[in-house]
Chains A and B, each alone.
Chain A
Amino acid sequence: MCQHVESTEINCLLCKNVRLLICLCSPFRCRSLPAQRKIYMRSPPIPEMATQEVQLNETLAHLKTESETLKSKLEEERAKLHDVELHQVAEKVEGLGQFVMKTRRTLKGHGNKVLCMDWCKDKRRIVSSSQDGKVIVWDAFTTNKEHAVTMPCTWVMACAYAPSGCAVACGGLDNKCSVYPLSLDKNENLAAKKKSVAMHTNYLSACSFTNSDMQILTSSGDGTCALWDVESGQLLQSFHGHAADVLCLDLAPSETGNTFVSGGCDKKANVWDMRSGQCIQSFETHESDINSVRYYPSGDAFASGSDDATCRLYDLRADREVAIYSKESIIFGVSSVDFSLSGRLLFGGYNDYTINVWDVLKGTRVSILFGHENRVSTLRVSPDGTAFCTGSWDHTLRIWA
């Protein structure tokens, strides 16, 4: 018994042997701690389902052991060529000085949580989407709203600007990705010209145009990614391999322009070949859902942000994780990451309303930015690297420079 305060016992009415003990003092000084975890109520398992479960479990157990063996072999192989850490290589690099970034613009107009945003190639326009179903196109420089569309669903979790600047794509709980051509005719109802392109069997979590307005890449809560032809709505390629919801994706800035990376609730980041649909590389070191992935500007690596409160850097040629960006005082998940133009800085938007700025090479935190009044849900650096934009559950977007 705990010596600080009297404990009380309750006899369970279902099974008289299990007793509930609730200790009132600090749980780490009480010796009856294990007893606290006994569950005093549980619905009895249905016998029939139990046997089916056992059979399925046996096959799975076998596959699982094989999978685990191969994984540890792979880790051994990867470790053989790991002869130095990133921060060691970066010792000779000059440290970064005082860092001052402020909110330069605040975009108000959404009636609910902002979930996603994307920049236009003209470096000043953005599109943003929100929980209330609204998708707004802004000239972020003047803070004017230029277009607005009301989607037929709530929770528009993904939006993207077309490379030409003439259209936007968006989707969310409607399981689709739709493309809206932008027209300057004020009398024109944008919703009328809408084109349904992608169809998934669960929510749309992210979308991105490839190098042109003609193809869109999507990721979904149904565990797959897909490449679509905008004109015909035809599925060009689908990508299977995630074990749970896929939450994010990013296209590689490579010479051949054929790969992309995706991250999901299965804690995996997968690199895919767009032509064949094959998963060519896979990384599983995060401890929780991966909310955001972004390529390093050279295309040789990518960063990820996760609910485990860390950002990580994965090198594609070394085929391994090469850096972790974390701090003991940061205990909230990362919703969104992006690099500055030179790749020296990594910006992370966190669920504790802040933005942390990391020195990619040295692995240290350079700055913490306050300002939003709720979770930061999305973060993107502008195409010319002059600023970055954040969207938040506090209904606003901010431009920082």
Chain B
Amino acid sequence: MKEWNIKCVNSFSMEKVIVAMQDPDMGMKMRNQRLLITVIPHAMTGRDVIDWLIQKYNICEEEALHVGGMLVRYGYIYPLKEPRSLVLRADETPYRFQTPYFWTSTRWPASELDYAIYLAKKNIRKQGELMEYEKERYSLLHKRINHTWDFVVMQAREQLRASKQRRKADRIVLECQEQAYWLINRPPVRSLTLHYSAVLYHTIESCRRALGRNRVKSSICLEGFVKFSEQYQNHDPIMQGCLPSNPWISDDTAHWTMNSEIVPVPTRLRVERWSFSFMELLNDPIGRREFMTYLEKEFSAENLCFWQACEDIRHGESSKIIQKVEDVYKNFLAPGAARWVNIDSKTMDKTLEGIKHPHRFVMDDAQLHIYFLMKKDSYPRYLKSDLYKNMLAKAIVPQETKKSVFPFMRRQRHSSPSPAQAVTQVTEEDGRAMGAGKAGTNSAAGSHV
């Protein structure tokens, strides 16, 4: 499964860094390191690694320590002194590059056989040298690949014999390399079941469809991003801050109170947003209410009512669909209906046909038609109307509350009514406090789970 598989580390990028580090000209300067009485060639200190990273990637010490630390954790660099401590120290601690043979990304099938031989070697070399988890795995492997166990022991003995013939420095390095590799590696767990041909058919199908589609020039699309970000910049609290203050920073919830779903007077920024797009207007409950008022004046409120009823069908409970479709037909589509909506005949015919077998999306075409009607016609006129202009004029612009006004006071963080409160049944009338529901309750009294 993905999370358990160490290969979700980006080995490709890490290897690029390692290769750059070992470049003969621009790479790190390496030297011999003394390990007790043995001299190990081509090693470097932790300090060297960090300095090189800082210089090469133009980053600060903190980030270099971070990046270098990861290279050690994933086995591209290993410590010579304390092999189990996979940490990068910014001092004279010696490290070495792991041979590519043992890189986590190398497509060397780290099979059970390899792991078994490694553990067998350890076991033979010094009794009791295996760690607890290694002992467990060793016995598991012994059970699983019992039929090749003779081969395992034979290989282990052969490798040990060959290593005794090496110079001490070589032997230490080889042992370090191998140990570092197995400390990090784990048998890969793959649980993918692929139907290759089915997938390829899908790809071919979607490519064919994609070749037929219309595309827009990049210059037009990208200009759109610039415009959008500009338009919304003042409304982005992380970019520009928010008034009177950001609740997370000042501990004052005034910003939320002023911008709740329904308020007597909305803020200026909020009313401005209604002019950005028709969707912004409809998504805001106050905006939608204002628009309804306007449409009523124009005697076209049935359009918005119809649109809302269609939304209700699309997003409501499955069991109520049939009833709702019937109601919509009676109120908006039937000849002589009280709030008849003006849809073109083609769409009307298609919809009426679909109503015979009602389903969740049966009103989609009609709904879209009315939506675009309102968007092209009523919406632009609403923005020019007095109703909207008055709304904008009397909208609130909150005063900024600077944090410095309360330098020494730690503000009380008040609870707010939970949305789930609406569902809880109030059985008693004696005013039992509804848990976290009471506004202004001290946070200490909130429910603890």
Contacts and interface: CB of A to CB of B under 8 A. Distances in A.
Given A74-B207, A298-B224, A340-B238, A318 B202 contact: no
A144 B221 contact: no
B200 A287 contact: no
Contacts, number: 386
B237 A164 contact: no
Nearest to B278: A255
B63 A368 contact: yes
Contacts of B202: 240-241, 243, 279
A322 interface: yes
B413 A166 contact: no
Interface residues of A, number: 147
A147 interface: yes
B308 interface: no
Contacts of B114: 41
A341 B236 contact: yes
B232 A343 contact: yes
A297 B232 contact: yes
Interface in A260-317: 265-266, 275, 279-282, 287-289, 296-298, 300-301, 307-309, 315, 317
Contact of B415 (A56, A92, A93, A142): A142
Give the secondary structure class of A's interface. Answer: loop
Interface residues on B, range: 35 or more
A164 B242 CA distance: 25
B364 A8 contact: no
Interface string B406-449: 00000001111011111110000000001111000001001111
Contact of B1 (A96, A120, A221, A319): A221
A62 B30 CA distance: 51
B155 A13 contact: yes
Interface in B44-94: 53, 57, 59, 62-63, 66-67, 70
Q: Which 6 interchain pairs have the tightest Cβ spacing?
A: A165-B419, A342-B232, A212-B315, A342-B236, A70-B207, A401-B248
28 contacts: A23-B99, A37-B101, A60-B197, A66-B204, A77-B215, A84-B218, A139-B418, A146-B447, A165-B420, A186-B447, A202-B191, A211-B315, A214-B317, A231-B319, A236-B360, A256-B368, A265-B2, A280-B209, A281-B213, A308-B12, A309-B13, A322-B218, A331-B10, A333-B9, A342-B231, A343-B232, A387-B238, A401-B237
Interface of A: 4-6, 8, 10, 13, 22-29, 33, 36-37, 39, 41-43, 56, 59-60, 63-64, 66-67, 70-71, 73-74, 77-78, 81-86, 89-90, 92-93, 96, 101, 104-105, 120-125, 136, 139, 141-148, 155, 164-166, 181-186, 202-203, 210-212, 214-215, 221, 229, 231-232, 234, 236, 240-241, 243-245, 247, 253, 255-256, 265-266, 275, 279-282, 287-289, 296-298, 300-301, 307-309, 315, 317-320, 322, 328-329, 331-333, 340-345, 351-354, 360-361, 368, 370, 381, 384-388, 399, 401
